[in-house]
């Protein structure tokens, strides 16, 4: 399996989720299954079916997180010699040249991308346009909605 790029914060979040699943969710599901079994006939026991479904979800997520973390390549942009360029893990503030709107994104791996939290995937059109650019550069982003131009206002490495 190929290396999965993660930021330090992203790896910590995944480790935290994995720990919670193993120490809280898994035992809770086991207890729910035991309670449902104690009620008798399992063939028409909705609580038992729901608990087994939840168990399958929790176990699948644990397996997924274990796989991701075992193949993770943790990248700390603060330790890279990047010379002021936008790189994986960098936080970049950009301004839309048409509307004047400003937005700040952190460039992260596919696994930790969350547009609601302004974490964009390194493989997204915006991130691909930003990689390797510097403050003051104007980039063209070719997205499904059309081509947009953005100016890079600032780049930080947190």
The confidence band for 107, taking pLDDT boundaries of 50, 70 and 90, is very high
Structural domains in the chain plus CATH codes: 4-75 (1.10.287.180), 77-156 (3.10.50.30)
- For the beta carbon of residue 108, count every other beta carbon within 10 angstroms: 27
Q: Provide the whole-model pTM.
A: 0.81
Q: Does the pLDDT at position 1 exceed 70? A: no
The confidence band for 125, taking pLDDT boundaries of 50, 70 and 90, is very high
Phi, then psi, of 77 in degrees rounded to 5: -65, -25
CA angle centred on 12, ends 134 and 78, rounded to 5°: 30
Q: What is the 3-state secondary structure (H, E, C) of 10-52?
A: HHHHHHHHHHHHHHHHHHHHHHHHHHHHHCCCCCCCHHHHHHH
> How far from chain centre, in Å, is Cα 21?
17
Task: Give residue-wise pLDDT tens across range 17-45.
Answer: 999 999 999 999 999 999 888 887 777 77
- For the beta carbon of residue 113, count every other beta carbon within 10 angstroms: 18
């Amino acid at each position: 399996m190929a290396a999965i790029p993660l930021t330090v914060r992203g790896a910590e979040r995944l480790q935290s989720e994995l720990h919670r699943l193993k120490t809280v969710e898994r035992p809770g599901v086991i207890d729910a299954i035991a309670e449902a079994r104690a009620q008798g006939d399992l063939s028409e026991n909705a609580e038992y079916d729901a608990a087994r479904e939840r168990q399958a979800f929790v176990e699948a997520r644990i397996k997924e997180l274990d796989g991701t973390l075992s193949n993770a390549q943790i990248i700390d942009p603060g330790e890279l010699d990047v010379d002021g360029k936008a790189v994986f893990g960098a936080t970049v503030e950009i301004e839309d040249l048409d509307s004047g709107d400003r937005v700040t994104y952190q460039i992260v791996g596919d696994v930790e991308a969350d547009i609601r939290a302004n974490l964009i995937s390194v493989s997204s059109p915006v991130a691909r346009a930003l990689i390797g650019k510097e403050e003051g550069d104007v980039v063209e982003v070719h997205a499904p909605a059309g081509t947009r131009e953005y100016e890079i206002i600032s780049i930080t490495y947190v």
